[in-house]
Amino acid sequence: MDDRLIDLAQKVEVLHSPYVDPKNFPDSVDVTLIEGSVSTNEDVHKVKMIRERTRILVSLGDCAVTGNIPAMRNRFSVKEVLDRAYMENAGRDHQIPLESLPRLLDKCRPVHEIVPVDVFVPGCPPSADVIHHVLSELAQGRMPELSMVGRFG
């Protein structure tokens, strides 16, 4: 989004980013963007907590909107997925880590199957123009209309 970010940055206050502070999500947030699917028990906990503390929740990108590539594992059991990753494809230490990994859900889910979502932004990734449109509209207090700027698929 290049220079457009400078204009947007003057209109918003970023309160949280998992890259800056993965521990503490604020209590009251106007808008939250969620990327990625819901694949683990930790993801479920986080997305529910975020929904409780957010006025407008945005699913950003096809993984959050539909499950996309991560949901390709849904054809297989959790045991098959873990065996493939940690037993069949491991170069060494052929064992499934049981303590250090979050528990995989039986199926990978899009965000809206776990909590209500207010805005769906498709794309893998969504184009800079679509992201800019969504963020600009939200910054102006309007719900973005995406039918003219974005599409699924």
Amino acid at 23: K
Amino acid at 143: M
pLDDT attached to residue 101: 81
pLDDT attached to residue 69: 95
Give me the CATH number covering residue 118: 3.40.50.700
As a whole number, the mean pLDDT across the chain is: 88
Q: Is 92 contained in some domain?
A: no
Positive or negative: CA dihedral 104, 105, 108, 109: negative
pTM recorded for the entire structure: 0.87
Give the Cα separation of 49 and 127 in Å (integer). Answer: 28
Q: Is 151 contained in some domain?
A: no
Q: Is 95 contained in some domain?
A: no
Q: Is 25 contained in some domain?
A: no
pLDDT attached to residue 25: 85
For residue 120, the surrounding DSSP H or E stretch is: strand 119-121
pLDDT attached to residue 22: 63
Closest by CA position to 30, among listed 46, 15, 8:
15
Residue stretches of the chain with pLDDT short of 50: none
SS3 content of the chain, % helix, strand, coil (to 5): 35, 15, 45
DSSP secondary structure letters along 71-96: GGGGGS-HHHHHHIIIIIS-SS----
Number of other CB atoms surrounding residue 108 within 10 Å: 23
Q: Is 133 contained in some domain?
A: yes
Cα of 7 vs its chain's centroid, Å: 24
How many structural domains does the chain have?
A: 1
Q: Is 120 contained in some domain?
A: yes
pLDDT attached to residue 98: 77
Q: Is 115 contained in some domain?
A: yes
User: Which domain range does residue 128 map to?
Assistant: 4-19+32-68+107-139
